[in-house]
Amino acid sequence: MPSPPHGPQLEKANKIRSEETPMIIALEEHYFDADWNAQADTPRHSPRPDTPFLRRLSDLGEQRIKEMDEAGIDLQVISHAPPGAQGVKDADSVSWARRTNDRLHAAIQQHPSRFAGFAAVPTSDAVTGADELERAVGSLGFKGGMINSLTEGPFLDDKRYWPIFERAQALDVPIYLHPSDPNPAILSTYYKGYAETHPMFIRAGWGFMVETGTQAMRLVLSGIFDAYPRLKIILGHLGETIPYQIARIDEALSRDTPMKNFREVFSEHFYVTTSGFFSTPAMQCCIDEIGIDRVLFSVDWPYASNVAGVKWMKECAMTDSDKDKIFSGNAKRLLKL
């Protein structure tokens, strides 16, 4: 298992920042594996065209590190861009995830002081997916797993998927729930007519939040955290709107249902990142509602700008110690960096 950055490695990473600046760890930073197009579950997911953006997304070396250095980011925790393993044909998803995790591991080994990884976790067979998560964590040194939503079939609260969460608890690593395009039935019902004219409406503009926020809420309601009381989940984009609604959610669910403590369960098991959401009022809401120890810095590179994300965080009106927690302290603790 590769060692986390320490000693000379950490000193090397720290050269790009001054002693007065906290270490900066960004942990929802994406890449694209070259083999994905060959295994994509078409027609549900179209192959990615060769574009300058895709070439940046595919880079695991010079270009990525150059942009990190320009912003002062010391370490990226890298994960496959959506839909990842959830967009690969079921018959191929396990073998694809294994090969992909091996290739990402090799790239991390080339830059161990700058990169870490979240494993691609296949969900077509949850027991096999759990085994791959264990291999990636135990043998490759990954810091957790990434699941890119599920756009067809049952939600993640279905017990067929629980072996993955059970294994994550046993390994003491988080599962990062990342959005993907909404369920096809939802696309037709909620977004018909606008998916073509305003494609970000179904994605980062609204659809991603609805899709992943619903996944997270269903996990809380399912009782999975009673079964696995040490399970940890990460949500990007400042919690996919849940922290801003949590007071009303908590009150409403307590009226006439068995869920009397939504806020307590959510705040105990979920972490949120700033990925692609550089809003001080929104972040302050998260801090007020779930606590600063649950908020972690992320950029969502290359979909969002490293420079913009770091600049925003540095200019936020908060104490240096609080910035240090968000920039790296909370991530060090959660991911054992």
Question: How far, CA to CA in Å, does 272 sit from each of 28, 29, 295?
Answer: 11, 14, 5
Cα–Cα distance for residue pair 136/192, rounded to 1 Å: 39
Q: pTM above 0.85?
A: yes
Q: Among positive and negative, which fits the CA dihedral 174, 175, 179, 185?
A: negative
Contact 46, 99 (CB under 8 A): no
What local confidence, expressed as pLDDT, does residue 187 receive? Answer: 87
Q: Residue 40 contacts by C-beta under 8 Å, 6 or more apart in sequence?
A: 46, 47, 87, 88, 89
- The two tokens of residue 115 are 């990169």
SS3 content of the chain, % helix, strand, coil (to 5): 50, 10, 40
Could you tell me the domains of the chain? 7-335 (3.20.20.140)
Q: Which of 69, 288, 300, 322 is catalytic?
A: 300
Distances, alpha carbon 41 to alpha carbons 38, 92, 118, in Å = 9, 9, 22
Q: What pLDDT is stored for residue 8 in this prediction?
A: 43
The two three-digit tokens of residue 285, written as one number:
């809401």
298, burial (CB in 10 Å: exposed 0-12, middle 13-18, buried 19+): buried
Start-end of H helices in the chain: 7-14, 36-39, 52-58, 62-71, 90-110, 126-138, 162-171, 184-190, 207-222, 224-227, 242-253, 262-269, 280-290, 306-315, 320-324, 330-335
C-alpha dihedral sign at 161, 167, 169, 172: negative
Which amino acid is it at 222?
S
Does residue 33 have an active-site annotation?
no
Query: Can you say whether the dihedral through the CA atoms of 182, 282, 275, 176 is positive or negative?
Result: negative
One digit per residue, the tens of pLDDT, for the chain of length 337 reads: 444 444 444 444 444 444 567 799 999 999 999 999 999 998 778 889 999 999 999 999 999 999 999 999 999 999 999 999 999 999 999 999 999 999 999 999 999 999 999 999 999 999 999 999 999 999 999 999 999 998 677 999 999 999 999 999 999 999 999 998 888 888 889 999 998 899 999 999 999 999 999 999 999 999 999 999 999 999 999 999 999 999 999 999 999 888 899 999 999 999 999 999 999 999 999 999 999 999 999 999 999 999 999 999 999 999 999 999 999 999 999 999 9
